[in-house]
A and B are shown apart, each in its own frame.
Chain A
Amino acid sequence: MQVKLKIFRYNPEVDKKPHYDKYEVEADPTDRVLDLLEYVKGNFDGTLSFRRSCAHGICGSDAMRINGRNRLACKMLVKELGTDKILVEPILGLPVIKDLIVDMEPFFANYRSVLPYLINDEPPPKKERLQSIEERERFDDTTKCILCACCTTSCPSYWANEQYVGPAAIVAAHRFIFDSRDRAGAERLRILNDQFGVYRCHTIFNCTEACPREIQVTKAIGEVKRAIATGKIE
């Protein structure tokens, strides 16, 4: 089938303002949007720039806005868009460096601010630390995060204010707060109990809807809110 691609373009070395370029390409319904971008880059315009690596939705490189929603280009098949018009734009809320490439540093800075690593100073046993199947299940959902930023950059609260740590950072915190082997949950809750922590979340759900890993992001945030409210990690 023939599809009409409209792609956001901005080259800081020549453009003052961004613009959109249009391409018509022949596509298979099972093609990924990423395949189309590669095709455009390879055949029409080599300057088109975007990040990608794994091409099957697991590395988190290619978050972009496809027809107005945050998606991974490699996980979005043409047939699922249900239209032959495809609009591709960079994710919102981060500075655009070139075309579809945004500066991810503010996103990672927020991630780092919630102590996203296991903290447990007790000397470990000789073998593994034990953890029951239920305890492991408790935080399974949030271990899936690939830091693609689809969630954070779909959140109107994050658009409003980049100091909001954002759903991805809260997901990372959740993964450790609810890990029975971790000992710094209280510390993380203290960090998130702040003007720019969980209270900037107004349960807008764009994050959950955007997450390519199908993580229940809002639920994770809700559980963190509740842990703060009740003083219990359960």
Chain B
Amino acid sequence: MALKRNVGLKGMKYRGGGPMLAWALHRISGLAMVLFVGMHIVASFVMQQFGSDWATNLNIIYESTYFQLIIIFLVYFHAINGMRIILLDFWPKLLEYQREATWLQWMLLIPMYGLTAMVMMLIKLGGE
């Protein structure tokens, strides 16, 4: 018998390059944001309503520097990458320059995020 069509995680070994990585990150970041924002809203609601400990603790974790570092990366990435996708969708002609677009996107993201992270770490280390 023929082997069943079975891609599963094996697919991620495909050497798709930059745009494929961008897609995977976009997906992960989108889902992560749904999760965290959802959680945060629910927790804030519970906190306000019932003042329960676990919700407060959750929000404290949520607002901790390390957590914020991750979240901000995801937000920045998702926003910039999302912008690239939107532009390409509205002007298909630009799709010929997708390679350049992907580079450009990282060139925007890395300094932006680097600066943010640096400042956040300095504040953290500065003990504020």
Contacts and interface: CB of A to CB of B under 8 A. Distances in A.
Interface of A: 10, 12, 18, 65, 67-69, 92-97, 103, 106, 154, 156, 159-160, 162, 202-206, 208-209, 216, 218-219, 222-223, 225-226
Contact of A203 (B1, B4, B19, B96): B19
Given A92-B14, A106-B5, A219-B93, 20 more contacts: A10-B3, A12-B2, A65-B14, A93-B7, A95-B4, A97-B3, A159-B11, A202-B27, A202-B85, A203-B85, A203-B88, A204-B20, A204-B23, A205-B16, A206-B14, A206-B17, A208-B95, A222-B89, A225-B89, A225-B92
B5 A94 contact: yes
Contacts of B17: 205-206, 209
Given A206-B16, A206-B20, A209-B17, A222 B92 contact: yes
A68 B1 CA distance: 25
A205 B13 contact: no
Contacts of A106: 5
Interface string B72-111: 0000000000000100111011011010000000000000
A226 B11 CA distance: 29
Contact of A92 (B11, B19, B88, B96): B11
A204 B92 contact: no
A178 to B, nearest CB: 12
Interface of B is mostly: helix
A208 B15 CA distance: 13
Interface of B: 1-5, 7, 10-11, 13-17, 19-20, 23, 26-27, 85, 88-90, 92-93, 95-96, 98
Nearest to B12: A156
A222 B88 contact: yes
Contacts of A159: 7, 11
15 contacts: A12-B3, A18-B3, A67-B15, A92-B10, A92-B11, A97-B2, A162-B5, A203-B19, A203-B23, A204-B19, A205-B17, A219-B95, A222-B89, A222-B95, A225-B92
Contacts of B5: 93-95, 106, 162
